[in-house]
Amino acid sequence: MLDIKLIRENPGLIRKNLEKRRDKEKILWISKIKEIDASYLRIKKEVEILRHRRNVVSEEINLMQKQKQDITGKIKEIRKIPDEIKRLEEKLKSMKHEIDNYLLHLPNILDESVPYGKDDAGNVTVRKCGVAKKPKFELKAHGDIIELLEIGDFTKAAEISGAGFYYMFGKLAQLNLALMQFAIDNLVKKGFVLSIPPLMLRKEPYEGVTDLADFEKVMYKIEGEDLYLIATSEHSIATYFMNDILPEQDLPIKMVGFSPCFRKEIGSHGVDTRGLFRTHQFWKVEQFVFCNPKDSWKYHEEIQKNSEELYKKLKIPYRVVNVCTGDIGIIAAKKYDTEAWFPRQDAYKEVGSNSNCTDYQARRLNIKFTDKNGEKRFLHTLNNTAIATSRTLVAILENYQQKDGSIKIPAVLQKYCGFKTIEKPKN
């Protein structure tokens, strides 16, 4: 959520930001917001004048009573004032609601380092790590190899739940758990507090986290209840301090969230549509930071480094891209995507994102801290996908697949799994 002061004092900044995002519709909002806000400020002043007048008339009545003067006219005047104040306050309430509704749907102010682009084709590669190569033999689709090795079933899952669901069995299920524990252990060692958050949120706090009107398209709503299944643990963690004021000395607060995630969207855009790459449910380990605004860019780089370390240890080639204006979404001021190498697809694909949301979420959720001068200020929030297990599993199945169809287990995961390979069971 943006500060109304930005529109009052620097509407050009908002217009420039929306132009970068290619959002012509919302550019038209600026004049409308300024118009409503001008009326709001004028009426607010009227209320202040009326309250002052009420005090003045009250004093005049007291004085006139002492002097035994006729107060009939003054009584008539003062009796009208509360009704007028109430009428104007109701109008103010309605106008503020309208202004806030606009502000809730305006996107965050982009950092200057965000590249301009129409869509993900405009994302700029920051760095690469590892050698992206394809084996000499033909890789099997991960969905096929999973069923060949008898460690999962997509056909049965589709029969009972529909497309975009799966069963995991045996070593694949163990590998899924191993990935989560591996990521959690690494982040706990770095000072992150493990959090298992609620898997459902009410509408009001959810609107504080993101633009629910837009996000509802991919979310599951619980019919008959004011509850949504979470799309990521980030959303539950962000809301934990809603309406709280934190002491500056408590910052930063670093959490590593672990939860299943639920999303309506599926499909892997033309490749391996049956499988784990994009599903209705998956597990994710998430980094989340609440911090002093002066430190947020430092932590943005720090949590990115944390994510990259995991893929380095897994020995999966990856690249980092600076997400462009047309692909970044409304919440982040800047976002990095970490893209792992998928040799069967001969492409880098997103396995996680890292967003500095500046004060955008904190303002929506009303999360503040008290600085050393005693001033209450909105803090900054950051979130980063450490491991989304389903996509990382696909990356392992492609990068560690052997010619005979078996799968080697990354060395760093073997102590969590208790095995070094996944092979087809011998009948």
> What pLDDT sits at residue 191?
97
pLDDT at position 327 is 95
CB count within 10 Å of CB 337 equals 23
Instruction: Note the pLDDT of residue 424.
Output: 86
Contact between 237 and 286 under an 8 Å Cβ cutoff? The reply is: yes
Report yes or no: 195 and 235 within 8 Å, Cβ to Cβ: no
The predicted structure's pLDDT at residue 218: 84
Count the neighbouring beta carbons within 10 Å of the beta carbon of residue 334. 22
Q: How far is 246 from 423, CA to CA, in rounded Å?
A: 52
The number of C-alpha atoms within 13 Å of 245 and in the hemisphere containing its C-beta is: 6
- Cα–Cα distance measured from residue 215 to residue 195, given in angstroms and rounded to the nearest whole number: 23
Write the CB contacts of 253 (distance below 8 Å, at least 6 apart in sequence).
193, 241, 246, 289, 290, 291
Distance of CA 135 to the CA centre of its chain: 37
Mean pLDDT of 47-66: 93
Say whether both 396 and 289 belong to one domain.
yes
Q: What is the pLDDT of residue 75?
A: 92
- Flag whether 113 is in a domain: no
Mark which of 105, 140, 172 sits at the end of a domain. Answer: 105
82, 105, 128 — which closes off a domain?
Answer: 105
Task: Report the CATH number that the domain containing residue 279 is assigned in CATH.
Answer: 3.30.930.10
Q: Is the pLDDT of residue 223 over 90?
A: yes
Task: Tell me: do 76 and 218 sit in the same domain.
Answer: no
Co-location of 87 and 230 in the same domain? no
Q: With respect to residue 114, please indicate whether it lies within any of the assigned structural domains.
A: no
- Domain-embedded: residue 360: yes
In a domain, 379, yes or no: yes
pLDDT of residue 268 exceeding 90: no
Question: Both tokens of residue 371?
Answer: 């600085």
pLDDT of residue 216: 74
Residues of the chain above pLDDT 70, percent: 98
d(CA 318, CA 132): 8
Do 34 and 145 have their domain in common?
Answer: no
Distance, CA of 327 to CA of 320 (rounded, Å)? 15
Q: Are residues 80 and 173 in the same domain?
A: no
What is the CB-side half-sphere exposure of residue 113 using CA atoms within 13 A?
Answer: 11
Q: Taking residues 17-40, what's their average pLDDT?
A: 95
pLDDT digits (tens, 9 = 90+) for 298-308: 999 999 999 99
Mean pLDDT of the chain: 94
Phi, psi of 141 (to 5 degrees): -60, 140
Whether 156 and 219 have beta carbons less than 8 Å apart is answered as no
Contacts of residue 240, defined as CB under 8 A and 6 or more positions apart, other chains included, come to 197
Is the separation of the CB atoms in 161 and 262 below 8 Å? Answer: no
In this structure, the answer to whether residues 225 and 169 fall within a common structural domain is yes
pLDDT tops 90 at residue 273: no
Alpha carbons 422 and 111: distance in angstroms, whole number: 45
C-beta of residue 111 within 8 angstroms of C-beta of residue 356: yes
Of 59, 75, 105, which one is at a domain's C-terminal end? Answer: 105
Claim to verify: residue 170 and residue 100 sit in the same structural domain: no
- Tokens 């132009």 found at: 19
Q: Does the pLDDT value for residue 315 go beyond 80? A: yes
Please check whether residues 161 and 137 belong to one and the same domain.
Answer: yes
**What are the tens digits of pLDDT across the range 372-401?**
999 999 999 999 999 999 999 999 999 999
Q: Does residue 377 share a domain with residue 263?
A: yes
Which one is predicted more confidently, 427 or 256?
256
Residues 194, 415, 348, CA angle at the centre, nearest 5°?
Answer: 75
145 sits in which H/E element: helix 142-148
Q: How far is CA 18 from CA 13, 83, 109, 399, in A?
A: 9, 42, 9, 40
**Structural tokens at position 352:** 């996680």
Asked if pLDDT for residue 271 goes beyond 60, the answer is: no
Spatial separation of the C-alpha atoms in residues 127 and 33, rounded to whole Å? 41
Query: 67 and 200: one domain?
Result: no
125 and 101 in a common domain:
no
CB atoms within 10 A of CB 34: 15
Question: Which pLDDT does position 10 carry in this prediction?
Answer: 94
Give strand pairing partners of 127: 320
> How many domains, in total, are found in the chain?
2
Q: Helix 170-188 vs helix 389-399: angle between axes, to the nearest 10 degrees? A: 110
pLDDT on residue 266: 61
Residue ranges of E strands in 235-305: 245-247, 253-262, 281-291
Q: How far apart are CA 28 and CA 56, in angstroms?
A: 43
Q: Burial level of 142, CB count in 10 A (0-12/13-18/19+)?
A: buried
Q: What is the chain's length?
A: 427
* pLDDT value at 214 more than 80: no
Helical segments of 189-325, H only: 203-209, 212-215, 233-238, 296-314
Are residues 79 and 170 located together in one domain of the fold? no
State the residue range of the domain holding 85.
4-105
CATH number, residue 81: 1.10.287.40
Does residue 246 come out as left (phi exceeding 0), alpha (psi in the -120 to 50 range) or beta? beta
User: Mind listing the pLDDT tens digit for each residue in 105-133?
Assistant: 999 999 999 999 999 999 999 999 999 99
* 386 close to 286: Cβ distance less than 8 angstroms: yes
Asked whether residue 112 is assigned to any structural domain, the reply reads no
pLDDT score of 81 more than 90: yes
